A and B are shown apart, each in its own frame.
Chain A
Amino acid sequence: MKLEASGLEIGYGPFIVGRDIDLTVSPGDICCLLGPNGCGKTTLFRTMLGLIPSLGGRVMLGGQPLASLSRIEIARRISYVPQAHAPPFPYEALEIVMMGRTVRLGRFAQPGPADRAAAYEEMERLGIADLAGRDYTRLSGGQRQLVLIARALAQRAPLIVMDEPTASLDFGNQALVLGEIGKLAHAASRSGQGVVLSTHNPDHAFALGSEVVLMHDGGIYRRGTPQEVLTSESLSTVYGVPVGVERTPSGRHVCISAPLGDGARLAARGA
């Protein structure tokens, strides 16, 4: 299953967020979309999932125009992990995961014991089986994010799209969720699934070690391996502050932003 955007123009009604976007996700690909907040990552994902119409260009899914597919046809091919949030009602975590099984149910059916077992299995795979009976609204942000990832896995779609899965998490939870995503993405890639995820943190792109697509001003600025794309020069341009890339003695790359003395430039950006 291939997801292809070509010459894509994205935005909301008259407001154009980005244009001339070409992006292809093939089976086995892991693609990390990197860019600052507001650069159009979420808008691009919503367009590529068919949640909002494209303003120009086209999106093809499995060789068919996205716009010609029904919601259930799209959901069978792409699963979506939104940013973690709390719904208004206290569903059990397992019920949230079971909602991923909706694509396999008849229009008027509800999940049966097999769906319940399948949902539980995905939670076990992510090491969160102990949360199954818990109230989803009372889980921590990191736990919720893992539940949403389990839900996407339960959807069993050949493509997985994750919108900033680490954005609203604290330091420890970021590491936890990022670790799970790394394992998951490489396992999915080996089994022929495609994974696209976005982040605003270049360190996370380094940590995943997959193809990086760097976005700037609603367009694609660079793409390639982390070492090729995540340079001091490109990151400084995209984030608008001086960024240094350093190698730690253990061999990891870390990004260092503007030194503290350079606060004036940060303030000028309204950061």
Chain B
Amino acid sequence: MEQGETTGVIRRAPGVRVSLVVALGLIVAALSLGALAIGPFALSPAETLVALFGGGEQQAQVVVQNIRLPRVAAALLVGAALAAAGASYQTLFRNPLVSPDILGVSAGAGLGAVIGIFLSLPVAFIQLFAFAGGLAAVVLVTVVASAVRNTDRILALVLTGVVIGALAGAATSLLKVLADPYDQLPAITFWLLGSLASVTTADILPALPAVLIGLVPLVLLRWRINVLSLGDDEARALGVEAGRVRFIVIAAATLITASVTALAGVVGWVGLVIPHIARMIVGPSFARLLPVSAIIGAGYLLVVDTLARTIGAVEIPLGILTAVIGAPFFIWLLASGRRGWA
């Protein structure tokens, strides 16, 4: 290796490169402006900017500020949150095939929301039920997994997550059978596929602080999360309280996932696919992976949601589009034979 390269290796900061974050941020900002301009009431980027800051036609202001802005903000928040949670779970469980619903959070949130819809509760209660259902599922999984006397803690958690998720899925199916087929069933189906069609500013306000609170421990523990990805024995021999760190990361990532699932419904694939793209760009080190995953996730879901509301005569559920885009990408990832799932 040449001398210049060697010193480069030592000097390279373990944190994220600021220029990369700024560049990605600018791309997402440009995408956001585009998303605010696109729709049945089409605007030029300049008109959009003017309307956003309270100028121009009254109608343009209403469309941009009241209709499109909450939706764009929600897409950015949900995408960033799911990708950040996915990156955390993948590193924590030492498995690149893990998605944020590994411990049953989506299944639990789905069941909670379906109960809310089944009882014909107001939207705010449906969201509250979804949030509570997501948290309850993960609490149940961690309690059951720690009661199971298995020396492999991670395996016990993942298998319990599968079991509890399947149970919640069965309960959801039962409610779908019992639900009113003309009124409740379409609402349930739509919710389980994820959508931002009816999101308002009032829906975003409770989710935003929950996501930010969940991100705090992930940022603080960024280095220890790397060490934990070597496995429990090694992490502990390196001075990390593996069980405690894992508990905190699960709690934080679950809070993040449950909050945005309550807002948008079950949106799959984002938390699975985006961390892979981020890892290809900045490598696996969590201090870089977390912010880059969040930014790319935000931009990705914004694009998907904009497609969802513009390509067809009717709204297309987000879960359908993320699967249609995510599945071929994943097959390409497999076929390209990348070792280590970079």
In the complex, the answer to whether B240 meets A90 with C-beta atoms within 8 Å is no
Is the C-beta of A241 less than 8 angstroms from some C-beta in chain B? no
In the complex, the answer to whether B10 meets A87 with C-beta atoms within 8 Å is no
In B138-166, which residues have CB < 8 Å from any A CB?
149, 151
Is the C-beta of B91 less than 8 angstroms from some C-beta in chain A? yes
In the complex, the answer to whether A102 meets B224 with C-beta atoms within 8 Å is yes
Q: Which of B33-41, B228-236, B305-313 contacts A (4 or more CB under 8 A)?
A: B228-236
B234 to chain A, nearest CB (A): 6
B120 to chain A, nearest CB (A): 46
Is the C-beta of A70 less than 8 angstroms from some C-beta in chain B? yes
Is the C-beta of B68 less than 8 angstroms from some C-beta in chain A? no
Q: Which of B126-134, B185-193, B279-287 contacts A (4 or more CB under 8 A)?
A: B279-287
In the complex, the answer to whether B240 meets A102 with C-beta atoms within 8 Å is yes
Q: Which of B21-29, B215-223, B292-300, B327-335 contacts A (4 or more CB under 8 A)?
A: B215-223
In the complex, the answer to whether B237 meets A110 with C-beta atoms within 8 Å is no
Q: Interface majority SS on A: helix, strand, loop or mixed?
A: mixed
Scan A65-77; emit 1 where CB is below 8 A from any B CB, else 0: 0000011101110
In the complex, the answer to whether B341 meets A88 with C-beta atoms within 8 Å is yes
B95 to chain A, nearest CB (A): 6
Given A89-B91, A117-B10, A70 contacting B241 (CB threshold 8 A): yes
Given A95-B226, A108-B220, A133-B9, A90 contacting B233 (CB threshold 8 A): no
- Neighbouring B residues of A112 by C-beta, 8 Å: 14
A187 to chain B, nearest CB (A): 22
Distance in angstroms between the alpha carbons of A91 and B230 in the assembled complex: 10
- Neighbouring B residues of A109 by C-beta, 8 Å: 223
- Neighbouring A residues of B240 by C-beta, 8 Å: 71, 102
Distance in angstroms between the alpha carbons of A71 and B239 in the assembled complex: 5
Interface residues on A, range: 35 or more
- Neighbouring A residues of B242 by C-beta, 8 Å: 71
In the complex, the answer to whether A90 meets B238 with C-beta atoms within 8 Å is no
Distance in angstroms between the alpha carbons of A108 and B223 in the assembled complex: 8
In the complex, the answer to whether A111 meets B14 with C-beta atoms within 8 Å is yes
In the complex, the answer to whether A89 meets B14 with C-beta atoms within 8 Å is no
Closest residue of A by beta carbon distance from B15: A110
Residue from B222, B238, B339 within 8 A of A99 (CB atoms): B238
Is the C-beta of A249 less than 8 angstroms from some C-beta in chain B? no
- Neighbouring B residues of A94 by C-beta, 8 Å: 9-10
In the complex, the answer to whether B241 meets A110 with C-beta atoms within 8 Å is no
In the complex, the answer to whether A51 meets B340 with C-beta atoms within 8 Å is no
Is the C-beta of B5 less than 8 angstroms from some C-beta in chain A? yes
Closest residue of A by beta carbon distance from B340: A90
In the complex, the answer to whether B233 meets A82 with C-beta atoms within 8 Å is yes
Given A102-B240, A109-B223, A88 contacting B229 (CB threshold 8 A): yes
In the complex, the answer to whether A75 meets B237 with C-beta atoms within 8 Å is yes
In the complex, the answer to whether A49 meets B237 with C-beta atoms within 8 Å is yes
In the complex, the answer to whether B239 meets A76 with C-beta atoms within 8 Å is yes
- Neighbouring B residues of A90 by C-beta, 8 Å: 283-284, 339-340, 342
In the complex, the answer to whether B14 meets A102 with C-beta atoms within 8 Å is no
Residue from B15, B96, B234, B285 within 8 A of A80 (CB atoms): B234
- Neighbouring B residues of A91 by C-beta, 8 Å: 226, 283-285
Distance in angstroms between the alpha carbons of A138 and B339 in the assembled complex: 8
- Neighbouring B residues of A138 by C-beta, 8 Å: 339-340
Q: Assuming A99-B227, A102-B238, A103-B239, what are 20 further A-B pairs, CB within 8 angstroms?
A: A13-B149, A82-B237, A88-B94, A88-B229, A88-B340, A90-B283, A90-B339, A91-B283, A91-B284, A94-B9, A99-B226, A99-B238, A102-B224, A102-B240, A116-B12, A132-B9, A133-B5, A133-B8, A133-B9, A137-B339
Listed by A's residue number, 11 A-B pairs whose Cβ atoms lie within 8 Å are: A70-B241, A80-B234, A80-B238, A88-B229, A89-B284, A90-B283, A90-B342, A105-B223, A107-B224, A116-B14, A129-B6
